[in-house]
Amino acid sequence: MPRRKKASRKYRGTRSCGWGRIAQHRRSGRKGGRGHAGMHKHKWSWVLKYARGYFGKRGFKRPLEVTWRYPEVNVSQLEELANRMDKEGLLETYEGKPLLDGFKLGFLKVLGEGRVTRPLVVKAQSFTERAMEKIKAAGGQVIQGP
């Protein structure tokens, strides 16, 4: 039966399969080098089209000690937190007052925004002056330090 193309067009036993001398289709010589070889030379047109921003320095990354902030909480949030923990039965007490341990609850600094009406014992690494005044004025206690 006549066919337009041969049924099997595989190059069986021809060794180079149409790629010229042996090893011309192997390894990285046919690709212009391994990896990013030649990016400033013979592959520069590829860089301009596909990877324009790859070379050169740009911008500035601020150091972590400058950008990192204490996990902080306001005085107004402390009372809400104490009420919620009291409902769930998770509130610990210290000398008969509810204890909020910032190290366990995920805050290290207490800020002075809002007000407190209930005596609380708050443990944290640092407090603002206003936060200390407001907690103590409500009959609470401040435990500072690790």
| Residue range 74-128, pLDDT digits in tens | 999 998 999 999 899 888 888 889 999 999 999 999 999 998 999 999 999 999 9
- Identify whether residues 89 and 112 lie together within a single domain: yes
Residue bearing the bigger pLDDT, 136 or 30: 136
Q: Is the pLDDT of residue 52 over 90?
A: yes
Mean local confidence (pLDDT), 32-59: 94
Q: Pick the closest to residue 130 from 109, 146, 107 (CA basis).
A: 109
- Identify whether residues 79 and 52 lie together within a single domain: no
Give the confidence band of 14 by pLDDT, cuts at 50, 70, 90. confident
Give the DSSP letter of residue 124: E
Q: How far apart are CA 65 and CA 53, in angstroms?
A: 28
Domain encompassing residue 21: 16-59
Note the pLDDT of residue 1.
67
Note the pLDDT of residue 2.
72
Note the pLDDT of residue 18.
85
Note the pLDDT of residue 27.
87
> Are 42 and 36 spatial neighbours (Cβ–Cβ below 8 Å)?
no
Write the CATH number for 20: 4.10.990
Note the pLDDT of residue 22.
82
pTM, rounded to two decimals? 0.56
Q: How far apart are CA 89 and CA 60, in angstroms?
A: 48
Number of H helices, E strands in the chain: 5, 7
Give the confidence band of 8 by pLDDT, cuts at 50, 70, 90. confident
Domain contains 116? yes
Write the CATH number for 129: 3.100.10.10
Rg (CA), the chain: 35
Domain contains 1? no
- Identify whether residues 111 and 133 lie together within a single domain: yes
Residue bearing the bigger pLDDT, 65 or 146: 65
